Each structure stands twice: as structure tokens, then as C-alpha cells.
Structure 1
Amino acid sequence: MGVREVALSAASVFTAPYQPQDYLRLVNRLSSARQLRGVVRSVTPECSGSVTITFRPGRGWHAHEAGQYARIGVEIDGVRQWRSYSLSAPAGEDPAITVTAVGRVSSHLVQHTKVGDILFLAPPQGDFVLPTGPRPLLMLTAGSGITPVMSMIRTLVPRRPDADVVLIHSARTSQDALFRDELARLAAEHESLHVVHRYTGTDGRIDLTTPADLDRLCPDWRSRKAYVCGPAQLLDDATAMWHEHHAPDALSVERFETALLADGGSGGHVVFEKSDKEADGDGSTTLLELGEDAGVLMPHGCRMGICRSCLVPLRAGQVKDLRTGEIRADEGDLIQTCISAPCGPVHLDV
């Protein structure tokens, strides 16, 4: 038995019939047997309605790798809402997320988070991470897609003299470019980092339909392991480029969202049976969003139809896959709620 266990056993004489941990939880807001939590240590303004939120996680968190993401939960109007955010801090340091005020949860985090607040957490995950051995790297990012790549750069460049990183980042204007000043400082201090900013408001977007722009911006791009993160169009174009003009396995892609059909489903009334909640859907709002807005604790992960963590049994009715248009109507079918919308009345087993 360890020292901690001996101390707790001795203390239980004075705390019976309760356990010492029960009293510890009253004074330690990070202590929870059911839910991992973190306390906000700093909120740093970035640019264009963005902030970096650094937090200290409680027990149960495992150190993140550079490039990974984590699910973050926050209470809004009494309902706990969850979203996935890339971790922007370097590996080995307290985790941080950099959030732009787009959407309900992100806007709430940007506008209302303060030091001392409690965030609900899930452990870091994802395989958009640095290679195991030294090799030349190309980072191709746009907008908030720079967030996981910034974690990689902060981890690699100051610590590895053999690093060789080219970052090509697109933003609408220089004022919209996240981490611009820090990147300039890092590039000045380390010859291993070369930064190219592309301001689409004046320069236009990088054309990835041919290799011409990449040949000009990074002539040796074919010899580098490439990472791309940003809007769906950038990711689709880069994937096509590497398939046609190089090697697909030389490219790692991180997606924040997936393309959904514009017309959606027909809409309908959704009953969340186990939670005793109901909601009306318009046909383009996903079942996941409808449930969360109604106060249902919905399982989810990537929110893009990839990880399948959001699967919920269909009890009755039919739903439409907003990526493909496929209609699902078999009772007992496992429905991906993050990419499905109701088509008429729907009952879900959640």
C-alpha cells in the first residue's frame, strides 16, 4: 500500500461514514469520480474575435501530443454543450485551445470565459501528429486550421536543431492571421522555420489545381512530409493534388467539418426517449445539435461523421444522411446523429 493509500485509510477514521475523497471534492473543484475537469489559468486575446484559453486539467488527463484535439464541455443556459478543439499548446505543457467566436459554443467561450472557470474535458485524441523521426515538413494551413499546426511548431522548432519546417498560412488579411507575431519571432530566432503568409483579400487563394503555386512557394514540397488543415475546399484540393502529382501517403489531413447537403431532410418532431426530451427539426439541423439544444447528453466525438462515436439506435421514423442523401428507416439501426436530420417524426433511444 502506498503512502497516499495509507494516509487516506487513516483519515477515514475521522470522516466515517464518508470517505476522505468526499470531503476533498468539496474543496477541489477538479476532483470528480465521473467527469474530467480543468480550471482556466489564462485567457489571452488573439486576433479577430479569437482567444487562447489555457487550463490546468485534473487527474485522469494524459499529456497531449502536438497536433491532437480534445472535447471541451461548457455550461450554457444550464445545458452542458460539447465541442472538439485542437490543442494549440506545445506538448509537455498545460493544454490550451485557441477559439474563434463562430458558432454558439465557440462564441460563448470567447466572450464569457474567465480565469478560474471550470471546463469539462475528455482526454486528448487524434492521429494528426508529428512523425516519429526527423524529416523535412510542409505545413499548409488556412484560418483557424493553423491551431494544431501551431502546437507542432511550438513543440518542434525550439527543441530540435535538426528541424526543417515550411509553413504556408492563408488568412483574409494580416489582421486576421492567428499567431502572426509569434511566428515572425520564431522564424527570426530559428533558421529551421520558414513562414509564408498568404493574404487572400489581396493575394487570392493558393491554387492547388496545378503544382505551380506550390512549386513557387516551396520548390522542394515533394520531398517533405505535408500536413494540411483548414476549410474543406483546401483539404479537398490538397488531397487531389497529392494524389495526382505526388504520393497520397505523404499528406496528413485534419478536418474540422464535413460537407453537408444544402437541401437537408424534410424536418420533423424528434423524441429522445431515454432523456424524456423532444425537439422540432428543420431538416438541415442535425439530430446531434437538436438533442444538445434540448438538453440531452448526446454521445459524440468528431462531429463530422468519421469517428462514429455519436451512434444512437433509431426506435421509429426515418432520418436522412446529410452527406449522401441516404434515407435510414430500419428500427434498431445505429444512426450517426452528427450527420443525420429527421424526415418526419423520429424516436431515438437516447
Structure 2
Amino acid sequence: MALSAASVFTAPRHPQDFLQLVNPLSSARQLRGVVTSVTPECSGSVTIAFRPGRGWHAHEAGQYARIGVEIDGVRQWRSYSLSAPAGQDPAITVTAVGRVSRHLVESTRVGDVLFLAPPQGDFLLPTGPRPLLMLTAGSGITPVMSMIRTLVPRRPDADVVLIHSARTPQDALFRAELATLAADHDGLHVAHRYTATDGRIDFTSPADLDALCPDWRSRKAYVCGPAELLDDASQMWHDHHVADALSVERFETALLTDAGAGGRVVFEKSDKEAVADGSTTLLEAGEDAGVLMPHGCRMGICRSCLVPLRAGQIKDLRTGETHADEGELIQTCISAPCGTVHLDV
């Protein structure tokens, strides 16, 4: 009622537009968060903590959220795992790989405002006490760190084995904190694998896993990291008939790099166009053109990026299949144009 009355005096602008001048988190149109700290981690990585505004619901350990930033006047969105423990203000740990992540690492300052989407994802801790194995590599440790920070200090019956792979000790995220947690809590055991000297874990036989965690077959397991690690671990658990005990979190999916000739993409509702080659996704083409593209996982899993195909032909970069049915809902995050394409977005 108050906002409706105030609109008489603020027209043609909405009262929310003026409220944002006082409180940058106040917006009925877009969830936001203000950066409260930027903490350097290992080389090229930082943890960005933020205080979300109204509309955010508390995250569960292991979930991720879409984060939006404006770069050269264009709002760019990416999905990041939340590394803070459940029940606390959220944080993301970002490594400077890719345009948006590099911008976050190099340019974010306390007081900056981030655009947010609510936390989501089902890479979650089990509901009851159970021995756990966490198998991570590189930045794949971020959702698992949220789980460890949530579980280990609060549960005296916690039994967690973390096996983390990094190139060198200097590249290992959260190494000092994990050492402190393991020293303070008997329920956490941490094993680091430094691939520059130790090589990668060999999944062609169970020997490496047996040495690192002899009872791995009886534990609920979580794996997060590069696609090769996820594929190898999934095969190992399948071969040993314990596939149901493995939860996998994928940050990326393998896409074809020589899918076709590409073409012109027309974003009809946005009145914008872009030219993309045959290995550039429609989602990326739209974002580069300044189109607000719906998306979530960016891996062809969550289907949040679906938009109707109005005309033209697209190719699925995972399978190579083509689609050209007018009105068909297509996944822009794993599709590329084959000639001129019109999208209803």
C-alpha cells in the first residue's frame, strides 16, 4: 500500500528505484547481495563473502548459486558452489579461469553489489550419520568444503575422509584450514595428492584408493572436480557394485569442438543479434550480445536454459544431433547454430 501511494510522487520511476539509492539490497525485481569480505586463498583464487538481501533462502551445504556481475555494461551470470557452512552468510571461492571468474577475482571489492539467484542443487550431505569419503580435485573442493565446515565442527560422530588432488601444495585450496580442522577434530582425515610429484590417482585398479582409504567401498562418497576425475570415479564405483553410494557434482560437460559452421543468431524478444561459430553455445552468444539468457548449471543438466526455437537449425554439442522443429524447447547451454537461428528470447 505504501509503495503504491509513493508511486504517485515517483512516477514514471518505481519507488524501488529510489529505495536502492539508500539500500542497494532493496529490489523487488532482482535479488542482490553486498560483498562483506574478499579473502585471498592460493594463487589466483579468492573467497568472496556476501550478505544477501530479502528473498534469499539459506543454503544447504554443497549447493550452488548463480552470481551475476556487470562487465562492460553487460550483466554476466555464472554458477558457483557456495563454500561457507550452512547457516551462515554465503560465500563463493573463485579461481581466475574464464572472463567472469577473472573479473570476480581481480575486481571485486568490499561493498560491491552482486546479483543473485537462490541457492540450488542436490549435492547434499546424507540426512543421518554415515562414514563419508570426499574425493576432490582443484576447485572441485569448494562445495565439499561447505560440507566439511558444516559437519565436522558440529557433529562429534562425524567420520570424514577427504582426498584432495592439486598440482602442488601452493595450489591446494584451504590447505591450512583443513590441517587445523583435522588436528582439532578426530572425525576428519585429510590426504593431499600433489599431481606434479605424485601423479594422478590411478583408477584402473583399486590399489591407490585402497592405500588412501581402505574402507572406501563402505562409505558414502562424493566426487567433484574435472570431468576426467568424475568419469573415472564413476566407472570405479560401478565396477565394484557400489555406484549407488556415489554422488557426483559436475562443473562442466564435454562438448564437441568442431560441431559445424555456426551462423547468425537472432534473439527476437531482445531485438539483438550475434554471430557464433559452430563450437560457441547459443547461451554464450546471447550473453556476449547483452541478452539476459535464462540458465542454471551450464552443463545441460538442469534445463533452466530452455527457450523456444522459432526458426533455423541447431546442433547439440554433446551428441552432434541437429534440431529444427519450430517451437521446440532447446537447451541453449549445449547447443550451437547451424546457419541462421531465431530464438524466442
Aligned match of 1:234: 229
Matched, 1:220 2:211: no
The amino acid of 1:121's aligned partner reads L
Note the C-alpha offset of 1:331.
1.2
Q: 2: distance between equivalents of 1:142 and 1:86?
A: 14
Aligned match of 1:49: 44
Aligned match of 2:117: 122
Per the alignment, in what secondary structure is the counterpart of residue 270 of structure 1?
A: strand
Q: TM-score, normalised by structure 2?
A: 0.96
Aligned match of 1:287: 282
Identity between Structure 1 and Structure 2 (%)? 85
Note the C-alpha offset of 1:200.
0.4
Matched, 1:96 2:91: yes
Aligned match of 1:251: 246
More moved, 20-29 vs 242-251? 20-29
Aligned match of 1:300: 295
Q: Which runs of 4+ in 1 moved over 4 A?
A: 11-23
Structure 2: 5+ residue stretches without partners: none
Change in 2 beyond 3 A, CA 1:340/1:111:
same
Note the C-alpha offset of 1:24.
3.7
Structure 1: 5+ residue stretches without partners: 1-7
Matched, 1:74 2:69: yes
What is the number of residues matched between the two proteins? 342
Q: 2: distance between equivalents of 1:287 and 1:15?
A: 39
Matched, 1:111 2:106: yes
CA offsets 1:231-261 (integer angstroms, 9 cap, x no match): 0010011111111113111000000000111
Aligned match of 1:163: 158
CA offsets 1:255-297 (integer angstroms, 9 cap, x no match): 0000111212211111111111111111111000000000001
Of residues 255, 259, 263, the one that matches 1:264 is: 259
CA offsets 1:32-83 (integer angstroms, 9 cap, x no match): 0110000000000111200000000000000000000000000001110000
Q: Conserved in 2, the CA contact under 8 Å of 1:75 and 1:81?
A: yes
Change in 2 beyond 3 A, CA 1:22/1:173:
closer
Change in 2 beyond 3 A, CA 1:24/1:143:
same
More moved, 302-311 vs 17-26? 17-26
The amino acid of 2:105's aligned partner reads V
Of residues 127, 131, 139, the one that matches 1:132 is: 127
Per the alignment, in what secondary structure is the counterpart of residue 235 of structure 1?
A: helix
The amino acid of 1:129's aligned partner reads L
Of residues 336, 340, 343, the one that matches 1:345 is: 340
Q: TM-score, normalised by structure 1?
A: 0.94
Q: 1: distance between equivalents of 2:146 and 2:124?
A: 10
Per the alignment, in what secondary structure is the counterpart of residue 153 of structure 1?
A: helix
Of residues 140, 144, 150, the one that matches 2:139 is: 144
